[in-house]
Amino acid sequence: MTKEKMIAFSQAHAEPEWLQARRQAAFDKISQLELPSIQRVKLERFNFGTGEIAESADSQNVPDFTQLGENPKLIQVGTRTIFEQMSPDMANKGVIFTDFYTALTEMPEILAQYFGSALPFDEDKLTAYHTAYFNSAAVLYVPDNVEINVPVEGVFYQDSDENVPFNKHILIIVGKNSKLSYLERFESLGQNSVKNTANIAVEVVALEGAQVKFSAIDRLGKSLTTFISRRGRLSKNAQIDWNLGVMNEGDVVADFDSDLVGEGSHAELKAVAISSGKQVQGIDTRVTNFAPHSVGHILQHGVILESGTLTFNGIGHIIRGAKGADAQQESRVLMLSDKARSDANPILLIDENDVTAGHAASIGQVDPEDMYYLMSRGLDKDTAERLVIRGFLGSVISEIPVKAVRDEMIGVIEMKLDKR
């Protein structure tokens, strides 16, 4: 790692002084901070990057654009933006969805105010590394009192045949009393011929009264080792409904957090994951109730095939003073192989008396009674097992706002089951 490369990259992109200073401060923190603490996951075994910062070349791996739809959309391959689509009506209302450097020219004060507000750069070694070395980004801004009635879609491809690290930052700002349905996809293109790393940060800032439905499908390739952090910061009476499908092929550490800083704020997080082959995935999901009468619920369902490893940590933390807060969580894992490894760790940290909190966790095989019922109706064992798994993961799939993407997730599940 060299500070000179980072400074040269920042200056070449004419980044404002505040961002150059932020990068340099983050670089200095990398050697001082510890890795994040994720129970039952040994982060020191992972390679999360070597300090390279560069831009992608023109990719030979071009996605299919034949069926894009008419909803607002941004598509990037590596560090390059290759497609933007925004209706005149949304643009006239002040909605912006574009690459980071364009946003810096269109709304510099807003970026200076909110960049890093949900995910501080000095939280741990990996967030500092990300801030110092992110090489591409996207910004979605929804002004106050704007309702978007169609899904806004961000598609971010990693070229698995190039050696440029996939260090992506997504910043979403949803104004007061606005409504947004957002669909995010991370996916690898190519032949997975180059081992590489990804450090991805997604910040969602929901201002007072904002309502956000956030759906995501992660399908990054087997040659990529990934750290991904999704963080929500919710003001008074704001709500974020997270629906996350973790369907990657490579090793992944994921950190999904919601900070309920405003009274009456509400976060519902549903996540499903599949681990297969020798894949290792650790998913840390946290909701912190800072404010009175805030609500945070976590539901995690996972399936493990072959020799895969999957760890779910569910953390509900109610801070002193958050009277009337509610923290609930459930983590369940299906193991379809004797060689599979799993942990489901419920953690409640309660610093206030006048609250409601609860948790549940389980790890087991497919329920034999479910299998018996389905097979007694004429289904073979493989078909019955697939139906049970799809039902087990259906709580998230059904919440995805675009039918084609729901079908895509089902197809990914089927593909993984076919590889057994």
Residue-wise pLDDT tens digits, 60-116 = 777 776 667 889 999 999 999 999 999 999 999 999 999 999 999 999 999 999 999
Angstrom distance (rounded) from CA 49 to CA 99: 23
Length of the chain measured in residues: 420
Contacts of 255 (CB under 8 A, 6+ apart): 36, 38, 227, 228, 229, 230, 231, 284, 286
Cα first-last separation, the chain = 40
pLDDT band at 1 (very low <50, low <70, confident <90, very high): low
By mean pLDDT, which of 204-218, 261-275, 349-363, 403-417 is the weakest?
Answer: 403-417
User: Where is pLDDT greater, at 21 or 388?
Assistant: 21
pLDDT, position 283: 96
pLDDT, position 396: 80
Q: How many alpha carbons lie under 13 Å from residue 343 in its C-beta half-sphere?
A: 15
pLDDT band at 13 (very low <50, low <70, confident <90, very high): very high
Tell me the whole-structure pTM to 2 decimals.
0.96
User: What is the rounded average pLDDT of the residues 21-40?
Assistant: 94
User: Where is pLDDT greater, at 396 or 226?
Assistant: 226
Asked if residue 402 has pLDDT above 80, the reply is no
Distances from the Cα of 243 to the Cαs of 81, 115, 184, in angstroms?
Answer: 25, 23, 10
pLDDT band at 407 (very low <50, low <70, confident <90, very high): confident
By C-alpha distance, which of 153, 203, 150, 154 is closest to 179?
A: 150
The β-bridge relationship of strands 136-142 and 96-99 is antiparallel
By C-alpha distance, which of 200, 166, 186 is closest to 249?
A: 186
Which residues face 137 on adjacent strands? 169
Angstrom distance (rounded) from CA 265 to CA 144: 17
The kind and range of the H/E element at 236 are none
pLDDT band at 367 (very low <50, low <70, confident <90, very high): confident
pLDDT band at 403 (very low <50, low <70, confident <90, very high): confident
By C-alpha distance, which of 240, 344, 236, 335 is closest to 292?
A: 236
Task: Give the percent of the chain with pLDDT over 90.
Answer: 80
pLDDT, position 63: 72
